[in-house]
Amino acid sequence: MESQTQAKPQPHILVLPCPLQGHINPMLQFSKRLASKGPRVTLVATSSISKSVKAIASHTINIEIISDGSTESITLDTSTDSDAFFENFKVTVSQSLIKLIETQKRSRHPPKFVVYDSGMPWALNLARELGLDGAPFFTQSGAVNAIYYHGYKGTLKLPLEEPTVSLPSLPLLGANDLPSFMADTGTYRALFRTLLNQLSNIDEANWIFCNTVYELEDEVLNWMTSQWPVKTIGPTIPSIYLDKRLEDDKEYGLSLFKPEVDACLKWLDTMEAGSVIYISFGSLASLEADQMEELTLGLKNSNCHFLWVVRDSEHKKLPANFVQETTEKGLVVSWCNQLEVLAHKAIGCFMTHCGWNSTLEALSLGVPMVAMPQWTDQRTNAKFIVDVWKVGVRIKLDEKGLANKEEIELCIREIMEGESGKEMKTNSVKWKKLAIEAVDEGGSSDKNIEGFVEKLQILANMTKIY
């Protein structure tokens, strides 16, 4: 006879991210948060990122690899922007996930729940057909999710007929503030359809997780939670930079690029507090050669120290001799540990493409931003950086669509030297505090994760989910 004091069985949760670094890391961090509350958590990675995932060392979560039909890293470029690509991915991953779940259902710890990247809405129906429940995980901001929903439902008419758009709970948006696919519906059509289809079965989900902080987007999140069971669980960055409650959670644990950690930190250690501009445009954005030249000139003219991440694939676009000519002022690296860099006292501002992960990291670490959005949701994030959170400036493009050297220099100087820069730094510190509070014990995100786990624990002790 079992002891009455024996621990009750914990639910087993599968977490299925899209195989892109900007999607994997948030869901990996969410997995760590879930596991810290008691459940057994398995991160289900696909074959295109298997080599990188195997490098994750975690005693709190399990790793399973399933096929996505590829052995190479997936990139969202023109070669993969086809309905056939996305359909093949869906079919292959669906079949692989079914096999995994069927196998694990016969184990000592059968899964009860699947948290899936919102780009895979079909995973909800698949999970329920196999006797599990599921919930989408939105890696983008609440504002962007709301905009895509209006696009999906047709309440946001595309192509745009007016210069500005008024949507419930959102600031007035210009065409340049909308995700790029919505302002220019002729580009990346298959990817655009995939993004809109994230919302195709949102009404059927019992939980919806959003990687944001309630206090950052309270108006749009209030609107969303009045219609759906939206739960904010962010920011999903390692605990050491926030509440410090998760043991050994010092880094994401996964990088599809090799960071030059020592070189960056040793160089930053020689710099004065707040004196360095950090420049990075993420893992996907690609600048044209003429834009790279304008950026190099703007950096030179600003006369500030800079640390610039230029991926190996982009390095050939740098003007000849730029690296050699600027060794006294700057350091160019192929990749870095962005969190360690942003947390360093030498960093004065962050010139960013405004990807949501980078935006959340800067907000969480109190670093003001020079916004230089490139595509997708980045333009909406830039709008909020400047006009809602007031933690940065946005580079204006010239008639050629370029961020010219004069504008780049002006924006850098505004943050590093101007009076408005002081206010942005003050606001950045405020958001940093709120981000920490959200994931700390009793914070808005912590309570949402706790409530979800408690509900699953109750269901785990019932003979049926429903």
Selected catalytic residue, list 12, 68, 117, 150: 117
The rounded distance, in Å, linking the Cα atoms of 146 and 155 is 11
Is residue 383 within a helix (H) or strand (E), and if so which, with residue range?
A: helix 378-383
- Pairing between strand 164-165 and 173-174? antiparallel
Q: CA separation (Å) from 143 to 9, 177, 213, 218, 219?
A: 38, 11, 12, 10, 9
> Are 309 and 341 in contact, with CB atoms under 8 Å apart?
no
3-state secondary structure of 431: helix
Residue 117 annotated in active site: yes
Is there a contact between 146 and 167 (Cβ–Cβ < 8 Å)? yes
Catalytic pick from 12, 23, 150, 353? 23
**Two tokens at 435?**
């981000």
Phi–psi pair at 259, nearest 5 degrees: -80, 145
Q: How far is 142 from 47, CA to CA, in rounded Å?
A: 30
Going by C-alpha positions, the residue among 335, 222, 213, 361 that lies closest to residue 283 is 335
Token pair listed for 458 = 């109750």
CB distance 10 to 40 below 8 Å: yes
* 242 neighbors 435 (Cβ within 8 angstroms): yes
List the one residue out of 119, 73, 71, 65 whose CA is nearest residue 96: 65
Q: Angle at CA 63, nearest 5°, toward 58 and 65? A: 150
Quick one: which of 277, 306, 279, 301 has its CA closest to 372?
Answer: 279
Q: Which residues pair with 331 in a beta bridge?
A: 307
* Annotation marks residue 353 as catalytic: no
Give catalytic residues, as residue numbers: 23, 117
